[in-house]
Amino acid sequence: MNAKPFESPPASLKASPSAARLLSQLRKMIEQGEWKPGAQLPTERDLAQRFRSARNTVRRALKVLEDEGRIYREVGRGTFVTPSPRAHADDLTRRIESASPLEIMEVRLMVEPQATELAAARANGAELDAMTSCLDHGEAAETIADFEMWDGLFHQALIAACRNQLLIDIYDAINAVRRQAEWAALKERTMTPEHRARVQAQHRRIIAALRARDAKSAAAEMLRHLQDVKRNLVGAQVLLD
């Protein structure tokens, strides 16, 4: 949860100058990094002694910090500074980028069929045209690398049509894996002319179902497409290993 700064003490503390002062001191310690994200705070008793405050004053200040999202409490463990959302996002991005092709495909199989169903309901004409343009460019591509680029853009355009920013951000990180050397090597091994023709036909069936607003068929076509991609990638991975 993002911290919500206050320009003045909350109403619950205005009647207590000592609590307001303590709250200001505690905020400053968090903001200046004396207590870093994830760090455990001293106990209420220790804080009361350190700042020469009453326990109930400490408790009230901590409650405000908790309401602001700056700290959180775990029963039996203590009180901790909330990790920064950016740190969580960076950790997640690094984890996704280090995922194996099999892990990526398993996640895509869980996410994309449902996203395709959503896109069937939400995509407008311009978004459907953009997806079709990706397919046209992909089919005209002369190299596997170019085909793979347009393939990735097709899937990204479909996800974007869902209009769910969290989904878009997650998928952007997933799609970045496709630009890595390991993924490119696997594609080189699996993208035979026959497989490419099959993928192109699968893409066309997906877009046809999207244009028809047939959500169930679109989701089913995407599922079959990704299952086929997974089978080819897993086979190639075994050969590489």
Confidence of residue 209 (pLDDT cuts 50, 70, 90): very high
Amino acid at 223: L
The highest-confidence range among 21-35, 83-97, 120-134, by mean pLDDT, is 120-134
> What is the per-residue pLDDT for 4?
46
Average pLDDT over residues 75-98: 72
Helix-strand-coil split of the chain, %, nearest 5: 75, 5, 20
% of residues, the chain, pLDDT over 90: 46
pTM (2 decimals)? 0.61
| Complete domains list, the chain, with CATH | 11-83 (1.10.10.10), 88-240 (1.20.120.530)
Average pLDDT over residues 26-34: 88
Confidence of residue 6 (pLDDT cuts 50, 70, 90): very low
Q: Which long-range contacts (CB under 8 A, 24 or more apart) does 73-79 make?
A: 77/40, 78/40, 78/41, 78/43, 79/40, 79/41
Is residue 214 over pLDDT 90? yes
Confidence of residue 74 (pLDDT cuts 50, 70, 90): confident
Confidence of residue 84 (pLDDT cuts 50, 70, 90): low
Beta bridge partners of 40: 80
> What is the per-residue pLDDT for 114?
97
User: Exposed, middle or buried: residue 3 (CB in 10 Å: 0-12, 13-18, 19+)?
Assistant: middle
Average pLDDT, the chain: 84
